[in-house]
Structure 1
Amino acid sequence: MIKTALTDLLGVDHPLVGFNRSPGVVAAVTNAGGFGVLAASAYTPEELDAQLTWIEQQVEGKPYGVDLLVPEKFATGDPDNLIASLRAQIPAEHIAFVDGLLAEYGIPATTPRAGHDEVSASINPDGAQALLDVAFSHRISLVANALGTPPPHLVDRAHQAGVVVASLVGQRKHAVRQLDSGVDVLIAQGTEAGGHTGTIATMVLTPEIVDLAGDKPVLAAGGIASGRQLAAALALGASGAWCGSVWLSSHEDITPLPVKEKFLAATSSDTLRSPTRTGKPARQLRSAWHDAWEKPDSPKPLPMPLQPMLVNEAWERIDAAAEQGHEGAKKLESFFIGQVVGSFAALRPAADIARQLVADCENRLAELAASTTNG
């Protein structure tokens, strides 16, 4: 057991936060003594309610949290006809480009997921409100905002419910705004991380944010997939680690197997930051998809949420075809992943990953303490 300000705040055994869109991963991390966090923006309100209900059945009262995407800058539409008004803003050039790319690789058509546009269109403060209503109807212990400063109503509502508010930051100026908004925990996310990141490395960013945060706990994020890396985060002054990419090598993670197979074959230099999935720079595995968007005559990605509305159905088709062994789909296939992908050796249960992270961290800290004493 490693006690820190974070473990005291959340009432958990280990300073390890596991962020994932898969409820199975969230429950496994929490049951292993860490703190699981579900990516709530991946779901409609109805889907989120079902996922949180399932998680609570698995963790039997142990704490867990949710993460929301609430960007400060995003495309807007008619509130009375939001999806149609946003769809109307997508240029025909972009639609033709995506259709042409899928045709070039021979990707078969599929039946789109119900609620697809609803999920994309909800990536704004109003859409987040509906997800928050669901989250606060459950026994969450933490709510995190992944893009920008959380709206005041989110912070106030969370604190009234006794829920901890966390926020991801990629620069010092972000942290200043987050602290002024009243957040309880800062997550210093370096550029090595999967998903939406800035350009500053975790080793540099974490101590900067720790010095700024005062008595507020800081989590290090980005480049942490082993016990040694968790120990390094603690050595930098963090109260724990926010880990995301490492769970993509777990059995419980719902990422399609062809993507996981590409992860296992990848090196740490096979990722890039690209706005071509969400409209904001997000680290993911490089594939033929990104090569196509980077050609000089290709259109520029659209702002959030127009870009996900443009491409999410395409990704559903790519995923479905890749799972059937389609070679063109495998070339395009990708997902959000950090630079730690180069350390993936095999798929394992999420609980085993969590336990090994903690055990290896404890061993490394003991080795360092022993070497200091002997010296």
Structure 2
Amino acid sequence: MRTAFTDLLGVQHPIVGFNRSPAVVAAVTNAGGFGVLAASAYAPEELDAQLTWIEEQVGGRPYGVDLLVPERFAPGDPDDLIASLRAQIPAEHLAFVAELLDRYDIPATATRDIADEFAAGVSPTGVAALLDVAFAHRIALIANALGTPPPDLVARGKAAGVVVAALVGAPKHAVRQLAAGVDLLVAQGTEAGGHTGTIATMVLTPEIVDLAGDLPVLAAGGIADGRQMAAALALGAAGVWCGSVWLASHEDVAIAAIKSKFLAATSADTLRSPTRTGKPARQLRSAWHDEWERPGSPAPLPLPLQPLLTGEAWQRIDDAAEAGHEGALRLESFFIGQVVGSFTELRGAAEITRTMAEECEARIAALGKAL
């Protein structure tokens, strides 16, 4: 299948596999798609190791990196960033999370605090360090998932011959991204997992296509099989950006407990909530969200204070859920789109890629016969 996206990146299938797991990125890429690593959760040295591993697996095939580059970031002391940010968390919020964990009897665990690393990674200094690592590797694309990429990122991408992509959830976002000079837009509808807006993919995609002119647009949100991919192409997209579907793959690093909840969920079992990151993000609804919605519960804090508040809690919940703890299983959740209702089994990421492409081609051929 040939589109403006496959021509731009030199891939066989116009399918982007966005995931935090290097194994998913490599599998999608080797199956003819385009893998993109969610990089903000890594420290610079970890990201360097992961990109090196990916390159060893893909044999020169193109792949990309996605970073969170927030336009707004809570102010902190650059010389002691994490401590200064943690000092801004109200006692009321700390007490609420502590009481919640006690009530569900979640045991304490001795794990590193990845919330500190995430907050550092999305700070201006941390983003700069991760960008240095990314551009030191053979990436073919770099995407910004939160807001307009800064001018130096766009200029750096163009100088290095790296495609600069940006995710948008509304036409006004696309206007700003086009003015910034990005090379590729991703129209992400509200059905998507993670940070997303309120406009549906079916409505958003043609709006962004019309604004983009000759610039390629990928559709994202609610796309997990070839029929949905064919619909995206019919809307004018040059391909699809998929995230949730890989969470039902063998290669994804999610624990078995959350994958089991995904397989049991329906498409009505997700919600947009800021209670994990401080920004509205679609995730699997659980008792965690019920607790935050109770009368008298505190309002979520802005990014990155909310993940600093809840990061240790989620590590404890994950660890306990993996051991089968009843309370943790009730709380357990992760970012996932509405397509979770179509998940029936775990599959390999390469199989998912190839099947999606084959189903899309078959569906387009069938539609052609209807003319």
| TM-score category (smaller protein) | over 0.9
Question: What's the offset of the Cα at 1:115?
Answer: 5.2
Question: What's the offset of the Cα at 1:116?
Answer: 3.8
Structure 2 residues without counterparts, runs of 5 or longer:
none
Match of 1:269 in 2: 268
Answer yes or no: is 1:361 the counterpart of 2:365.
no
CA distance in 1, matches of 2:161, 2:40: 22
Match of 2:149 in 1: 150
Is the 1:125–1:151 Cα contact (8 Å) retained in structure 2?
Answer: no
What does 1:1-375 align with in structure 2 at a 5 Å threshold?
2-113=1-112, 116-372=115-371
Question: Cα deviation per residue 1:301-335 (whole Å; 9 max; x = unaligned)?
Answer: 00000001111111111000001010100000000
Question: Cα deviation per residue 1:189-211 (whole Å; 9 max; x = unaligned)?
Answer: 00000000000000000000000
Question: Cα deviation per residue 1:195-254 (whole Å; 9 max; x = unaligned)?
Answer: 000000000000000000000000000000010000000000000000000000000000
CA distance in 1, matches of 2:14, 2:156: 25
Structure 1 residues without counterparts, runs of 5 or longer:
none
Three-state SS of the structure 1 residue aligned to 2:122 is coil
Question: Cα deviation per residue 1:115-167 (whole Å; 9 max; x = unaligned)?
Answer: 54032232133321110011011100000000000011111111111000000
Three-state SS of the structure 1 residue aligned to 2:370 is helix
Is the 2:41–2:117 Cα contact (8 Å) retained in structure 1?
Answer: no
Is the 2:114–2:311 Cα contact (8 Å) retained in structure 1?
Answer: no
Is the 1:69–1:124 Cα contact (8 Å) retained in structure 2?
Answer: no
Is the 1:44–1:115 Cα contact (8 Å) retained in structure 2?
Answer: no
- Percent identical among aligned pairs is 75
TM-score normalised by structure 1 residue count = 0.98
**How many residues end up aligned between the 2 structures?**
371
Is the 1:251–1:347 Cα contact (8 Å) retained in structure 2?
Answer: yes
Question: Cα deviation per residue 1:265-311 (whole Å; 9 max; x = unaligned)?
Answer: 00000000000010000000000000000112001100000001111
Letter in 2 for 1:10: L
CA distance in 2, matches of 1:257, 1:321: 12
RMSD of equivalent CA atoms: 0.8
Question: What's the offset of the Cα at 1:371?
Answer: 1.5
Letter in 2 for 1:98: V
CA distance in 1, matches of 2:156, 2:113: 30
Is the 2:193–2:337 Cα contact (8 Å) retained in structure 1?
Answer: yes
Is the 2:41–2:121 Cα contact (8 Å) retained in structure 1?
Answer: no
Letter in 2 for 1:125: P
CA distance in 2, matches of 1:146, 1:300: 24
Question: What's the offset of the Cα at 1:72?
Answer: 1.1
CA distance in 2, matches of 1:224, 1:26: 17
CA distance in 1, matches of 2:136, 2:144: 18
Question: Cα deviation per residue 1:44-63 (whole Å; 9 max; x = unaligned)?
Answer: 11111111111011001000
Is the 1:191–1:198 Cα contact (8 Å) retained in structure 2?
Answer: yes
Three-state SS of the structure 2 residue aligned to 1:122 is helix
Is the 2:279–2:302 Cα contact (8 Å) retained in structure 1?
Answer: yes
The 3 A distance-change label for structure 1 pair 331 and 114 is closer
CA distance in 2, matches of 1:211, 1:126: 36
Three-state SS of the structure 2 residue aligned to 1:347 is coil
Question: What's the offset of the Cα at 1:96?
Answer: 0.9
CA distance in 2, matches of 1:97, 1:50: 37
TM-score normalised by structure 2 residue count = 0.99
Is the 2:170–2:204 Cα contact (8 Å) retained in structure 1?
Answer: yes
Three-state SS of the structure 2 residue aligned to 1:153 is helix
